[in-house]
Structure 1
Amino acid sequence: MFTHNPELKEIFNMSNQRNGDQREALFNAIAAYASNIENLPALLPAVEKIAQKHTSFQIKPEQYNIVGTHLLATLDEMFNPGQGGAGRVGQSLWRTG
């Protein structure tokens, strides 16, 4: 993602990228969302915290698309190794999202 979009390095804490903290935080957030999809009020405190952080960094809508595209491609590669791109997983998530 950073190779194709180096401007995003200004937004992400690169030391958290290197030591795995960012990856762990993202995984934990996705797991919490999946676990509470039927209990959205339980997610509100975490969503508010993330929204405040994104607002303070002045995240733009197109930046969500960049990160989302790379996230889906990563998930797709994990579930469909060697297939390349945002295949079945990415396409089905975009359709349901």
Structure 2
Amino acid sequence: LKVLRRRYHRSERLYIVLDNFSPHHHKKVKTWARENNVELIYTPTYASWLNRIECHFGPLRKFVFEGSNYSSHDELAKAIQAYIRWRNKNKHHEAILKEQNKIKVA
């Protein structure tokens, strides 16, 4: 959140959409948001389809996790980073779009 906040002038209000993962509701998070002109918007419980990021998790699972057997967290982290770099360069790739379209988002 701090990195995101630095990208925009402090007078500009930021709206962050979050799911109901318990750390998102922590008092420190809410206090920081209030003090930094950030409004936290929580999706309803059991409504992950409202969160725009959800459509990216399917392709990540398919291309990074499916059939994998990483020997360490570091190896997994590198695979995720490599996928994200590839994905950002190939955002219109047919395989990516096919996986994204399996997830319905609002």
User: Which bracket does the TM-score occupy, shorter chain normalised?
Assistant: under 0.3
More helix by share: 1
TM-score (norm 1): 0.27
TM-score (norm 2): 0.26
Structure ID, larger Rg:
2
More strand by share: 2
Greater RCO structure (CA 8 Å; 6+ sep): 2
